Amino acid sequence: MTGPSRHTKMLAVLGVAALILLGRIFYIQLMDDSYKTDALNNSMVHIPVYPLRGIIYDRNGQILVGNKICYDLLCTPSALEPFDTLALSRALGVGPEVIKEKLAGYTTRSARRKIGYRSVVMFPKLPEETYMRFEEIAWRFPGFSGQARSLRQYPYNACGNLLGYISEVDAAYIKKHPEYKSGDYAGKTGLEFSCERLLRGEKGEKIYYRDSRGRIGASYRDGEADKPAVSGTDITTTIDAPLQHYGQQLMQNKVGSLVAIEPATGEILTAVSSPGIDVDCLADIGAHYQEIVSNPYKPMFNRAVQAAYPPGSVFKLVNALIGLEEGVFTPATKYACHAGYHFGRNNRLGCHNHRSPIDMEEGIMMSCNAYFCYVFKDLIDNPAYGTAEQAYTKWREYVESFGFGSKLGSDFPSELGGFVPAASYYDRYYGRNAWKAHTIISLSIGQGELGCTPLHLANLCATIANRGYYYTPHLIKETEQFPMDEKYRRRHYTLVDTTRFAQIIPGMYRAVNAGYGSGATAWVAAVEGLDICGKTGTAQNPHGDDHSVFICFAPRDKPKIAVAAYLENGGFGATWAAPVASLLVEKYLNGEISSGRKALEKRVLEGNLMDKVKTK
Amino acid sequence: MIGRSTAERSWLNTIDWYLVGAYLLLLLVGWLSIYASEYDPENVRSIFSWEMRSGKQLVWIGTALLLDVLILFAIPPRTVEALSPLLYGVMLLLLVAVIFLGANTRGSHSWFVLGPVSFQPAELSKITTSLFLAKWMSRYGFRLSRRQDFLLTLAIILLPMLIIVAENETGSALVYLSFLFVLYREGLSGWWLLLLLMIIVVFILTLVYSPYVALWVTMAAAAVCVCAERSNLRRLFTLYLPAGLLLAFYPWLYRSWMAEGPLAFLRPSWLLAGAALAMFIGCLVRAWREKNSFRVFVALALVLGLLITRAVPWVFQNVLQEHQRTRIEVLFGMKEDPSGAGYNVRQSMIAIGSGGFWGKGWLKGTQSSYGFVPEQSTDFIFCTIGEQWGFVGCLLTIALYVFLIGRILILSESSRETFTQIYGYSIAGIIFLHLVVNVGMTIGLMPVIGIPLPFLSYGGSSLWAFSMMIFIFVALIRNEKKYFR
């Protein structure tokens, strides 16, 4: 074989391979700068800039939730130098041993590996004045720095339950929402939760150089690559802040709920759940969380949309409307009431003492139980429907068309549906065809197996005020940044013809305005010149005192407000619910309480029903 | 007196101090780099500290040196040679045993763990295989061209290699490819090496581009080989070049003009397959007519190429493991994985690239001190050299290796004993492959294969193995000089 020997060829291969390696090394070390920039990248710090969270306004531009600046004190363990612990503890207002303890935690071997060159939040949420004290002498403490972030601020003590709170995201939350990083805040309840995507805004970042010892230096490329934070979108609610505040005062020391709706739009003016969460607790939920959770009255529970109660006598209005529509009676039909409705053998559904016989208007005005038992019996025994079951199913359809028995579809983050039993429910309970009108007669007066939220009742009231339709109640007003869902613009008609509604209103008017001694149940709610129309309810409660219920709207023509008040263990509807609701209406329409009703206002404000409420 | 002085001179003269010097220098560089790769400016510990890997490595180095002296002066090389079949057999047993008895480290069963000491038989089996191969091939009357001898040689190499593959240590198994150098030196046809290279190229081309490109390159290579063998340039330019160009541009042509028309049935893959078939038949016909066995070889290589292009996707999906797939995909830029498999390589290239010409200086690296590069004292030790001593450091280190390997090759070549010769080629090949694969991996030329950089990487097992490897050779050369001078 000619040419170089195999030995020489092998040496050549060795040389060529070495040259290839060196060539590549030469290229990446001396020709290609990108690896040097990347080495810098490795030694750059990205510091997040937190956006301002969106502001929540009331319907008149009053701020319900704003922001205030606070500071996190960061510690970069790798950049620490010996410092005066006492001076730092004085500036921050914490004990020197706290600082020492925290630092010791950062400098263990495992923590050092984990933290590396990064910073950790040492003292979160320092108020501005504390931070400024530190800032003045910050040069004495290398390795410590501040980071601004915004905290929620509540200028108006209203709507604690509606607004909800924000808190730092935990590991479970981050797992579910990977766009969040540790240290971010997110809404956990209420509007803060349901409007999180709008409110949170977009996080930005600032980039700094870090030297080989991990100290943060100059801004990278003069801040060219920094990303500014984008503030969150503001939200305007339909809440009337002063009215909400007044409602909360009226409901203080009582358990229950007070809801007011503007009938012409479905906008919720006031939604009180009592006892509620004080806004001061919201700002620092961490410190109050245990206290709130362990409160036996469950302040986190938003009764306005989550508590399903029997509606009581206010439900007679629904039965009246259905009866008129089905033609089982007319407004002029008179029924006798002898201390109640007698049925079967020795059965009686009792009623209070009043004159007899009476027509529908007086039946509503005096809230006669017997009258609506007759109406309900005729509805279920209506020969137009073969069986009680079919008649009941038809009745249920009517009831559901008012929004009962399911979620109304409001923008409350946690609305519950309530309950209207299906015929099959009774079939299961009593057996098929083994029940009839008298078996379920308590439905006639809003007792029995019904469950509705105070929002349902306010919506019923708004439907009557509108003479036959309602808009889905909602909390958020349309703004430029927040287009409203079409469903809040649609009128929902019930299965009852709109002409029937006008027929029941005189009864509601007289219930309030017929005067003391006339037999009117809600004379206490009358306000001169406001033409309030209402209906009391006294929901029987096997666990204690009856619940006090009242719905009303005003004025009679072109109503501006529809209110439902539900006070647990408040007794008769006229005792507590009617005064509360009427005061709210008066405040909204007149702006103040007339001198003649000041005594009533005082009684309500000072009233305390908490002891009557059984807590488990 | 006279006799004593000659004995002393021979003691000094018979040792190849160039080789030993290069070896000691590499140990020093490794030791300094291991310290630097763990150095923490805020928590400085001495290079001798037992808590640092450099401290432990010092113990390994010390024991390795003791071992070296032992091999040089206490064990007669003849004994090693005589025992090599036994050592090879014992090692095979150990290799099999470790599969069942070894600890499971990251999915591979290749380590014996005995209390604080762990030991990897695969490291030592390189030596025993080299020794037994040398013994076998230096046998009187051995001829590589004889089929029986050739097959047995292959078996000696492949047996430990396959067992190591079964241990899930593909990286270590790959090192056995280095025995091809020995076979080449001892007369294996260069065409076989070319064929192996071709298989690798076709594999990569199929994976990265397409089977079409891979087959085209196979055919082009076959055409060049056929013409080169006969020095038939006319045929190359009149037939193969135009046909090759046509086939190269045909897919583009087809896509832009013919895909929609009546000629749509003339698919590029069909045309290429037709051309390959024509070439295959042409080769066979000529081979038969001219009684030319080389043409048969080319024809079979063509078939092999075709089979590989078909088999690659299957091999890739079913034979390789997930992490190996990712490493290959990352190497060829088929997949961006900056935080997974690509992370090590990227960080390593950043560290080396940031070194510049002179480097940042010993213990002054930023990438290493903050732990950006993982495995930095073991498989990625070359990063520390690149970052801290720059291009100059890399150049000197690689030069040191080239000197060491070249010295072994030259000493082997001049040796009069076939055993020494073959053993020398074997270990030169092994060190060479380690160097190319390991350094290639840190600079993104090779996929990530976990094999250490000889003498530099932290770890006793590999240091002992490489020291023994070198000093058996030094002892062999010394022995020869003692007797032949």
Return the domain boundaries, chain A: 45-75+116-236, 241-612
**Strand, coil or helix: what is A71?**
strand
CB contact under 8 A, A25 and B401: no
In DSSP terms, A127 is beta-bridged to A70
Q: Which residue shows structure tokens 């529970």? A: A301
pLDDT tens-digit map of A581-616: 999 999 999 999 999 899 999 999 998 888 877 765
pLDDT tens-digit map of A391-445: 999 999 999 999 999 999 888 877 888 899 999 999 998 888 888 888 899 899 9
For every one of its 485 residues, what pLDDT tens digit does chain B have, with 9 covering 90 and above? 444 445 555 667 788 899 999 999 999 999 999 998 887 766 778 888 888 888 889 999 999 999 999 999 888 888 999 999 999 999 999 999 988 887 776 667 778 877 777 778 888 999 999 999 999 999 888 888 888 998 999 999 999 999 998 887 888 888 999 999 899 888 888 788 888 888 888 888 887 778 888 888 888 888 888 887 777 778 778 888 888 888 888 888 887 777 777 777 778 888 888 888 888 888 888 888 887 778 888 888 888 888 888 888 788 777 777 777 777 777 776 665 555 556 677 778 888 888 888 888 888 776 655 555 667 778 889 999 998 999 999 999 999 999 999 999 999 999 988 999 999 999 999 999 999 999 998 998 888 888 899 999 998 889 999 999 999 999 999 888 876 65
* Predicted-assembly ipTM surpassing the 0.90 threshold: no
pLDDT at residue number A1: 43
Q: Report d(CA B416, CA B421) in Å as an integer.
A: 8
Q: Which of A15, A30, A213 sits opposite B402 (nearest CB)?
A: A15
Q: Report d(CA A565, CA A574) in Å as an integer.
A: 11
Rounded to a whole number of angstroms, the distance between the first and last alpha carbons of chain A is: 103
CB contact under 8 A, A42 and B367: yes
Residue A101: both structure tokens together: 């303890």
Q: Supply the mean pLDDT for chain A.
A: 86
> Average pLDDT in the A342-360 region?
85
Cα A447–A453–A459 angle (5° rounding)? 105
pLDDT at residue number B42: 62
Which of 288-327 (A) contact B at CB < 8 A? none
> Average pLDDT in the A534-542 region?
89
Asked if residues A98 and A85 have their Cβ atoms less than 8 Å apart, the reply is no
The 8-class DSSP code of residue A541 comes to: -
Asked if A214 has any chain B CB less than 8 Å from its own CB, the reply is: yes
**Helix orientation angle between B341-353 and B381-414, rounded to the nearest 10 degrees:** 80
Asked if B194 has any chain A CB less than 8 Å from its own CB, the reply is: no
> If you write DSSP's letter for every residue of A89-146 in order, what string do you get?
HHHHTS-HHHHHHHHHHHSSHHHHHHHTT--EEEEEEEEHHHHHHHHHTGGG-TTEEE
pLDDT at residue number A212: 46
Contacts 24+ apart (CB under 8 A), A596-603: A596/A528, A597/A527, A600/A524, A603/A579
pLDDT at residue number A136: 85
pLDDT tens-digit map of A368-403: 999 999 999 999 998 888 888 899 999 999 999 999
Query: Which of B272, B273, B271, B298 has its CA nearest to residue B287?
Result: B298
Q: Which residue shows structure tokens 């299961």? A: A428
CA dist B219 to A367, B227, B293, B388, Å?
Answer: 101, 12, 18, 47
Residue A290: both structure tokens together: 């245990």
Q: Report d(CA A171, CA A166) in Å as an integer.
A: 15
Cα A565–A568–A440 angle (5° rounding)? 90
Asked if residues B82 and B139 have their Cβ atoms less than 8 Å apart, the reply is no
pLDDT band at A132 (very low <50, low <70, confident <90, very high): confident
Asked if residues A351 and A371 have their Cβ atoms less than 8 Å apart, the reply is no
Portion of chain A with pLDDT greater than 90, in percent: 36
Provide φ and ψ at B334, rounded to 5°.
-80, -15
Q: Which of A27, A29, A42, A81 to mutate to test the interface with B (most CBs of B within 10 A)?
A: A29
Q: Which of A6, A29, A112 sits opposite B357 (nearest CB)?
A: A29
The 8-class DSSP code of residue A567 comes to: E
pLDDT of A560 higher than 90: yes
**Strand, coil or helix: what is A239?**
coil
A241-612 shares the fold of A45-75+116-236: no
pLDDT at residue number B355: 86
Number of Cβ within 10 Å of residue B255's Cβ equals: 11
Q: Which of A21, A76, A108 to mutate to test the interface with B (most CBs of B within 10 A)?
A: A21
CB burial class (10 A; 0-12, 13-18, 19+) of residue A381?
Answer: middle
CB burial class (10 A; 0-12, 13-18, 19+) of residue A111?
Answer: middle
Residue A409: both structure tokens together: 């579809």
Torsion, CA B37, CA B41, CA B43, CA B46, rounded to 10: 60
pLDDT at residue number A6: 86
CB contact under 8 A, B366 and A212: yes
Query: Which of A157, A246, A159 has its CA nearest to residue A590?
Result: A246
Rounded to a whole number of angstroms, the distance between the first and last alpha carbons of chain B is: 20
Q: Which of A8, A11, A14, A209 to mutate to test the interface with B (most CBs of B within 10 A)?
A: A14
> Average pLDDT in the A45-57 region?
83
> Average pLDDT in the A138-143 region?
83
pLDDT at residue number B176: 92
Sign for the CA dihedral angle at B179, B180, B183, B185 comes to: negative
pLDDT at residue number B391: 93
Which residues in chain A are closer than 8 Å to B386, comparing Cβ atoms? 25, 29
**Prediction pTM value:** 0.56
Q: Which of A28, A43, A78 sits opposite B443 (nearest CB)?
A: A28
Residue by residue, what is the 3-state secondary structure of chain B? CHHHHHHHHHHHHCCCHHHHHHHHHHHHHHHHHHHHHHCCCCCCCCCCCCCCHHHHHHHHHHHHHHHHHHHHHCCCHHHHHHHHHHHHHHHHHHHHHHHHHCEEECCEEEEEEECCEEECHHHHHHHHHHHHHHHHHCCCCCCCCCHHHHHHHHHHHHHHHHHHHHCCCHHHHHHHHHHHHHHHHCCCCHHHHHHHHHHHHHHHHHHHCCHHHHHHHHHHHHHHHHHHHHCCHHHHHHHHHHHHHHHHHHHHHHHHHHCCCHHHHCCHHHHHHHHHHHHHHHHHHHHHHHCCHHHHHHHHHHHHHHHHHHHHHHHHHHHCCHHHHHHHHHHCCCCCCCCCHHHHHHHHHHHHHCCCCCCCCCCCCHHHHCCCCCCCCCCCHHHHHHHHHHHHHHHHHHHHHHHHHHHHHHHHHHCCCHHHHHHHHHHHHHHHHHHHHHHHHHCCCCCCCCCCCCCCCCCHHHHHHHHHHHHHHHHHHHHHHHHHC
pLDDT band at A346 (very low <50, low <70, confident <90, very high): confident
Provide φ and ψ at A492, rounded to 5°.
-105, 115
- Where does A513-593 show beta strands of DSSP type E? 533-539, 547-554, 561-567
Q: Which of B353, B432, B439 sits opposite A35 (nearest CB)?
A: B353
Residue by residue, what is the 3-state secondary structure of B307-323? HHHHHHHHHHHHHCCHH
Query: Which of A588, A574, A488, A464 has its CA nearest to residue A526?
Result: A574
Residue range A45-75+116-236 forms a domain whose CATH class is alpha beta
How do strand A235-236 and strand A56-57 relate by DSSP bridges?
parallel
**CATH superfamily ID and name for A241-612:** DD-peptidase/beta-lactamase superfamily (3.40.710.10)
pLDDT of A464 higher than 90: yes
Q: Report d(CA B293, CA A595) in Å as an integer.
A: 122
> Average pLDDT in the A97-102 region?
87
Query: Which of A244, A235, A240 has its CA nearest to residue A60?
Result: A240
pLDDT at residue number A41: 59
> If you write DSSP's letter for every residue of A35-56 in order, what string do you get?
HHHHHHHHTEEEEEEPPPPPPE
